[in-house]
Amino acid sequence: MNVIYIMWLRQLKKYFRSKSRIIGSLGQPLLFLLAFGFGFGAIFKKAGAGNYMQFLAPGIILMSVLFTAIFSGIDLIWDRQFGFLKETMVAPVSRLQIMLGKTLGGATVAAIQGVIVFVLTLLVGFRPHNLILLPLGALVVFLVAILFTSLGIGLASTMEDMQGFQLIMNFLVMPIFFLSGALFPLEGLPRVMDVIASLDPLSYGVDGLRYSFLGSESVFGMTTDMLVLSVLTVLLLGLGSRLFERIQA
């Protein structure tokens, strides 16, 4: 348990020490909020779909969580290249505990990033409708953070090249985000798009967070959202642990 705490604390210290990293990671969510929120707001309203900023904000919050969580794998490659991981591996501790500590640390950082973006959405006009469901929204955010942090660390465990990791992650992350319903409603899509969106894990996170904030009708159903996120989180934690245990520092 001490190892998990130490690795978790180390991830948090690295995050809070890098003010440029915190500020820089807010650029993309802010750009999406302003460009899409105000740019397509009038069109969205004319289509009779209501306030686009209200619809968009939950998706942008989870976009920030997704990017921060999955790119936490870069820290693992960085530690591997500079020898810190080797020092950790030779210690008489379980690799599973090391992986869990890194995963919880990365997920906590991603969740904090989501909270910061949530505050930004409030500044540009977003207003949650149901404050009672905010704790449920926080749970959705943390599940998404753990899920994609596990995925990032698992993939990073199989790679040694930071540039290769970034290419693979960009190839994976952008489709996950754009097909999740973060920017457009999932109702009324062509059959192929509907199937792809239902296979996207982030779709269930966006759907659950949108329901938690707005109290609107859930596309998949809140029970389904939580069940899918919980099962995938457990599965990816297990897969990430297996891949991390085989890593050669």
Q: 78-95, pLDDT tens digit by residue?
A: 777 766 666 666 666 677
Distance CA 158, CA 239 (A): 12
Residue 51: φ, ψ to 5°? -85, 120
**Confidence at residue 90, expressed as pLDDT on a 0 to 100 scale:** 67
Distance CA 234, CA 109 (A): 19
225, 235, 192, 234: which is closest to 58 by C-alpha? 225
Distance CA 177, CA 173 (A): 6
Most distant pair of Cα atoms in the chain: their distance: 63
pLDDT greater than 70 at residue 20? no
Mean pLDDT for all residues in the chain: 83
**Confidence at residue 136, expressed as pLDDT on a 0 to 100 scale:** 92
Alpha helices in the chain (DSSP H): 2-17, 19-24, 27-39, 41-46, 52-70, 73-81, 84-89, 95-123, 134-156, 162-178, 191-199, 201-214, 222-245
**Confidence at residue 193, expressed as pLDDT on a 0 to 100 scale:** 87
Lowest model confidence (mean pLDDT) among 23-32, 77-86, 120-129, 175-184: 77-86
pLDDT greater than 70 at residue 21? no
Q: Residues 83, 205: contact at Cβ < 8 Å?
A: no
**Confidence at residue 1, expressed as pLDDT on a 0 to 100 scale:** 54
Percent of the chain at pLDDT exceeding 70: 90
**Confidence at residue 243, expressed as pLDDT on a 0 to 100 scale:** 82
Question: Region 109-126: what's the mean pLDDT?
Answer: 91
Residue 21 Cα distances to 17, 18, 152, angstroms: 9, 5, 18
Tell me the whole-structure pTM to 2 decimals. 0.89
Residue 72: φ, ψ to 5°? -65, -20
**Confidence at residue 204, expressed as pLDDT on a 0 to 100 scale:** 95
Domain ranges of the chain: 2-245
pLDDT greater than 70 at residue 108? yes
